[in-house]
Amino acid sequence: MTNTQAILLDINSLLAGEWPQCLALLTYAYPLSNNDNKRPIEHTHLIGLLKKTSGSSNISKAIEAELEPVESLDGESYACLKFIDQLFDNYLKNNKLHSDIHPMLNHFRGESAIAMLQQTLPWHESTGLTAQFNNLYTNAIGWQPELGRAAERFYHQLQTIFNASSETSATPESTLDSFNVFFQKEQGRIQKLEKRLHDAELGALHAKHAQQLSARTLNQHMAGQQLPACITQFLQGPWRESMRLLIISDGKDSQNWQKILRLTETLIWSFQPINDDIDNHRQHIVNSISELAEQLHQTTIGLHHSTMLDEELGIVEKEHLKILKGEALEYQAFELIDNTDPLVSSQVSVSQNLIKQAAAYHEGQWFELQNSEGTTRIKLSLKITQAQQLLFTNFLGIKKAQHSFEEFAYMLSSKIAIPINSRDPFKATGEKIFNSLLERYTQQQQQAASDAAIEEEILRQQEITRQAAKDKALKEAKVFAEQQKAARIKAQQEQRAQAERLATEQHKKDVITQLAQLRVGAVVIFYNDANQGDQCKLAAIIQSSNEHIFVNRDGIKQHALNKQQLSAQLLNGTAKIIDPGSDFENTLEQVVNNLRTRK
């Protein structure tokens, strides 16, 4: 099994289908927990089982049910099958085809799993599966079972192709060919119906646009104004017809349309009450009246002429004449044209951005239309930009709706109409799963790294604590050893000092004893600073001064020391008694005793 720790995973390599990375991520995300030491089946046998279980809604369970008790999937195959199941489960949730078609899509599970076992992502172009998904999605997105027998026939023919794709002799190429033949036939039939519909509806779409725009324009100019009843009738009757005909002939972007808009504004303004607070207001109105009659006549007669129109223009001239004579006009309240329609009402204005969005959709775009009967799928079959009209058909090519850009923009903003994604989501679903798995893998790796760092830090802190304790123990042991050593040294020093004191005391006692025994004739060596000895003899002891007189070998006096001075030199080692001298009385007694013994 691929070691995920040894491979650096990145999304670009995964989406490119680099198999070592893909397999590393899959075996991480779908681990095989326990195979009980069973025998892994060979890929060729597994591929045969996948073809056999085509159409299953859970391919991994279906395969496991086909295995012998001693057989099992290997880790890589298990991960691939689990991924395919998740891919299709998510795909069917995101797929906008009718739910009745979803079971048929399970036929692709086996082919997708085989592609994975052959180390190829199922949405890769080389598999041919994406082309089949796109083909089916494009041609069946508008299908609904409520459309009757024709929809039922389409469903059964589609099911027949899927059943044929499950046969062992079928290949992805042959299945794709079958789909192409079937859909081309269906599209050819629908295109013929739509063409006849377009030809029949084209004039009606232009007429409806002209009718709506003329009504809306008049409502915008007349709203909030005061007008005599006869002028209201003229504006909403002959004048509106003139505007409608001009839109059809010249379009709303023409100079003539701009001219009639200015003329409409001036005509309505000319009938407003005189405002004395405005300088020369009456004079401006009088001046405009003289020009209006001719302009109105030219505009209306040029578009359509009738006896009734001449009468209506005469009524306008009579009302203008009242203004010129200074007579009061009889104003009367009026209703706007079809004011119950929010898209004609002067009080409703659809955002230009919304209108641009509605106009941006191309022919062939499908929408879900929410109405009292439920949800209906409609296709934008014809778009007439000049007339700003949209014609919608259903899956069978039958007309279902007709709306202006503004109407449809309003429906889009109100969520009455919802666009359906025109691209099959199979590939996007697979890539999204890869992104999700990689994100989860990355997060887990980061968490593992964080946990490892925390554990390492804990171990480091523990090691620091142990080392600190060890250092403290060593330091305390060292301090204790030093204290012991210092104690021993101190004891030794005290012992030496004690010994030295005892020796000194003993030396003193010895010196005192030696001094007490010192007699004339005693031999004492005196040392100079160079530690050179000079042997002297105690020549006399003067009792009165307690001085000891020492002479050298030649009998010359060398030292005269009292008892304390001699004691001090004996103590500090600058003098040393070699012979304490003889006691004369003891010596005489010994001689007498010796003589007696001889006798």
In the predicted model, is pLDDT for residue 114 greater than 70? yes
Q: What is the mean pLDDT of residues 301-322?
A: 76
Report in angstroms the alpha-carbon separations of 128 from 119, 122, 179. Answer: 15, 8, 12
Q: What amino acid occupies position 278?
A: I
Classify the phi-psi angles of 573: left when phi > 0, otherwise alpha if psi is within -120 to 50, otherwise beta: left
Non-local (6+) Cβ contacts of 102 within 8 A are 92, 95
CA dist 507 and 489 (Å) reads 25
Q: Are 161 and 135 in contact (CB under 8 A)?
A: no
Q: Report the pLDDT value the prediction gives residue 117, as an integer from 0 to 100.
A: 92
Contact 414, 407 (CB under 8 A): no
Q: What is the DSSP letter of 500?
A: H
* Domain locations in the chain as residue ranges: 4-166, 224-325, 351-419, 518-598
Question: What pLDDT is stored for residue 302 in this prediction?
Answer: 59
Q: Is 420 helix (H, G, I), strand (E, B) or coil?
A: coil
More confident residue, 588 or 95: 95
Q: What percent of the chain lies above the pLDDT cut of 70?
A: 91
Instruction: Return the pLDDT at 228.
Output: 93
Sign, CA dihedral 71-75-77-79, equals positive
> What's the pLDDT at 97?
94
Look at residue 184 in the predicted model and tell me its pLDDT. 92
- Same fold yes or no, 351-419 and 518-598: yes
How many of the other CB atoms lie within 10 Å of CB of 490?
A: 10
CB-CB contact of 208 with 389 (8 Å): yes
pLDDT grade, residue 296 (50/70/90)?
confident
Q: How confident is the model at residue 584 (pLDDT cuts 50, 70, 90)?
A: low
Specify the DSSP element, H or E, that contains 250. Answer: helix 240-250
Angle at 592 between CA 590 and CA 597, to 5 degrees: 95
What is the pLDDT at residue 346?
43
Q: CA–CA separation, 137 vs 140, rounded Å?
A: 5
Tell me the C-alpha distance between 133 and 153, whole Å. Answer: 20
| Paired tokens of 391 | 């014609």
Give strand pairing partners of 562: 547
Whether pLDDT at 558 is above 50: yes
Give the strands of the sheet with 389-393, arranged side by side.
Answer: 399-404, 389-393, 374-384, 366-371, 417-419
Q: What is the pTM of this model?
A: 0.62
Q: Which residues contact 227 (CB under 8 A, 6 or more apart)?
A: 235, 268, 271, 331, 332, 334
Greater confidence (57 vs 503) lies with 57
Q: Residue 343: its pLDDT value, please?
A: 46
pLDDT digits (tens, 9 = 90+) for 406-463: 889 999 999 999 999 988 999 999 999 999 999 999 888 888 889 889 999 999 999 9
Q: What is the CATH class of 518-598? A: mainly beta
> What is the length of the chain?
599
CA contacts within 13 A on the Cβ side of 103: 5
- Mean pLDDT over 506-510 rounds to 83
The mean pLDDT value for 89-111 works out to 92
CA dihedral (434, 435, 436, 437) in degrees, to 10, reads 50
pLDDT value at position 412?
92
> Above 60 in pLDDT, residue 303?
no
pLDDT of 1: 38
Rg (CA), the chain: 63
Architecture of domain 351-419: Roll (2.30)
Segment 115-143 mean pLDDT: 91
pLDDT at 264: 92
DSSP 30-81: S-----TTPEEPPHHHHHHHHHHTTT-S-HHHHHHHHS-TTEE--HHHHHHH
Query: Does the pLDDT at position 344 exceed 50?
Result: no
Instruction: Round the average pLDDT of the chain to a whole number and report it.
Output: 85
- In sequence order, what DSSP letters do the residues of 171-231 get, joined into one string? -HHHHHHHHHHHHHHHHHHHHHHHHHHHHHHHHHHHHHHHHHHHHHHHHHHHTT---BHHH
